């Protein structure tokens, strides 16, 4: 089976712009979680989608949003980018019933200038 894929791998944006990141889970996996990793805060949970519904949400401002499509692919969007949004954004997929091992994608490295 192909692994979790994320596009793009690298992205440079300017403050105030918006960005959309994409995640394709392992075939058959219905849950996609998103995480942000920064040197200062480490890894933090953004949100999780299952069957096109947001099932869990972390403590991030409303500028961070996401969605999931019927084929389980997921996108996350960040509007009005700030310098502090520069980070590695990782997604992970699982079959969807709870407490499964998570399979991580390679990440999208976002730089906001």
Partner 1 sequence: KNEVEQSPQNLTAQEGEFITINCSYSVGISALHWLQQHPGGGIVSLFMLSSGKKKHGRLIATINIQEKHSSLHITASHPRDSAVYICAVSNFGNEKLTFGTGTRLTIIP
CB 16, min distance to partner 1, A: 26
Q: Which of 25, 21, 5 is nearest to 79 (CA)?
A: 21
d(CA 111, CA 32): 23
Distance in Å, CB of 43 to partner 1, minimum: 4
Q: Report the alpha-carbon distance of residue 113 to residue 110 in Å, rounded.
A: 10
Query: Based on CB atoms, which residue is closest to partner 1, 54 or 80?
Result: 54
Residue 94 structure tokens: 């699982």
Q: Cα separation of 93 and 15, whole Å?
A: 30
- Contacts with partner 1 by CB under 8 A lie at 31, 33, 35, 37, 42-45, 48, 50, 55-56, 58, 88, 90, 92, 94, 98-104, 106-107, 109
Please say which residue, 16 or 88, places its beta carbon nearer to partner 1.
88
Alpha-carbon distance of 15 to 84, in angstroms, equals 10
Rounded to 10 degrees, the C-alpha dihedral 57/80/30/103 comes to: -90
Least CB distance to partner 1 at residue 53 (A): 13
User: Considering beta carbons, is residue 81 or 89 the nearer one to partner 1?
Assistant: 89
| 14 or 59: CB nearest partner 1 | 59
């Amino acid at each position: 089976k192909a692994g979790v894929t994320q596009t793009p791998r690298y992205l440079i944006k300017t403050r105030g712009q918006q960005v959309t990141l994409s995640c394709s889970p392992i075939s058959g996996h219905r849950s996609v979680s998103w995480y942000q990793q920064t040197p200062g805060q480490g890894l933090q949970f953004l949100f999780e989608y299952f069957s096109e519904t947001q099932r869990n949400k972390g403590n991030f401002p409303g500028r961070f949003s996401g969605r999931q499509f019927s084929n389980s692919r997921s996108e996350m969007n960040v509007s009005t980018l700030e310098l502090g949004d520069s980070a590695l954004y990782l997604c992970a997929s699982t079959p969807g019933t709870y407490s499964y091992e998570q399979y991580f994608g390679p990440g999208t490295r976002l730089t906001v200038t």
